Homo-oligomer: A and B are copies of this chain.
Amino acid sequence: MAAARHSTLDFMLGATADCNAVLKALQPVFQEQGMTETVHNWEDHGYLATYIKKNGSFANLRIHPHGLVLVDLQSYNDHTKGREETDQLLNKVEERMKELFHGNLKRIKRLPAILRGGVIDRYWPTADGRLVEYDIDEVVYDEDSPFQNIKILHSKQFGNILILSGDVNLAESDLAYTRAIMGSGKEDYTGKEVLILGGGDGGILYEIVKLKPKMVTMVLIEDCIPVLKRYAKEGRMFDYVINDLTAVPISTSPEEDSTWEFLRLILDLSMKVLKQDGKYFTQGNCINLTDALTLYEEQLSRLYCPVEFSKEIVCVPSYMELWVFYTIWKKQTEV
């Protein structure tokens, strides 16, 4: 299936625009390509010219009177020739604009073209909602489970990336994540009892067994709530609890209604199975979602037992944003 290639070229002028002069200067560039024109004139909001080509591609020229000229071009992405034609057209528009304004343009911005409707989807926004394009070159796996959509996409630089319901979870490049959620190399796991909640990519288990723990228990494909409740009832205790569950719970029902209550339930149960001098590690959120981080920290003050925490900011390569990791421990009572 042919994808569409969306190219943009923007001009910020130094002053207000003579909309008609800009239109007249650029019209021939499009018409030379055999494109037919339709012009809408808002009077007080400038012009929109639409140029249509026989091969199914089209362009928009939007001229804002306050001095902004935006060009959009949508064409098929199925042959190199089409891409060259697009580039040539945008080059000509840029030349003409430079001539018209004698090079006196405040900004000329041409973004990398956006591929729309391609078999490979390269756009996976960050947790803080920014647009980022990945160097995806292969869809390794793409299926809906009863719980979520599971994608494994291959990135040239990051290796395979696990994407759960559109959320970038982890890539092969991301040892920094695994290191951070294990305490950044500052812990001695020798002979210790470790509980991993989630950890489905296997990275934590792989790294931790190298460190000679006594036993690692991984609650991977089950609902961890009843398991934690059973451990708590049995009095089974751990030196380390590593919460590597999905950032957004698959479901909070039937236990709790809100995500925050649910997260607090897991925290409370985890504290119940954590030894008095044990440590609880978890990933928090991207550094820019300060409200979510604050809300999480508020939950920590509402657990059944008093806890203290520290946080670390880590660069996880495939995330393209800095990430906050938490270490939580039971507050030691004065002797």
Chain A residues engaging chain B, CB cutoff 8 angstroms: 1-4, 6, 8, 10, 12, 38, 40, 42, 44-46, 48, 50, 52, 54-56, 58, 60, 62, 64, 66-68, 70, 72, 74, 107, 109, 111-112, 114, 116-117, 121-123, 125, 128-135, 156-158, 173, 176, 286-288, 315, 317, 320-322
Contact = CB atoms under 8 A, between A and B. Distances in A.
B156 A131 contact: no
A288 B156 contact: yes
Contact of A116 (B3, B10, B123, B317): B10
B135 A114 contact: no
A48 B52 CA distance: 9
The 6 tightest CB contacts between A and B, nearest first, are A45-B56, A68-B117, A130-B133, A315-B317, A112-B131, A131-B133
Given A74-B62, A176-B315, A128 B135 contact: yes
Nearest to A44: B56
A74 B70 contact: yes
Given A131-B133, A176-B315, A56 B42 contact: yes
B116 A8 contact: yes
Given A58-B48, A64-B4, A116 B70 contact: yes
A107 B119 CA distance: 10
Contacts of A38: 38, 40, 50
B42 A321 contact: no
A72 B114 CA distance: 12
Contact of A123 (B44, B67, B68, B111): B111
Contacts of A134: 130
A72 B68 CA distance: 18
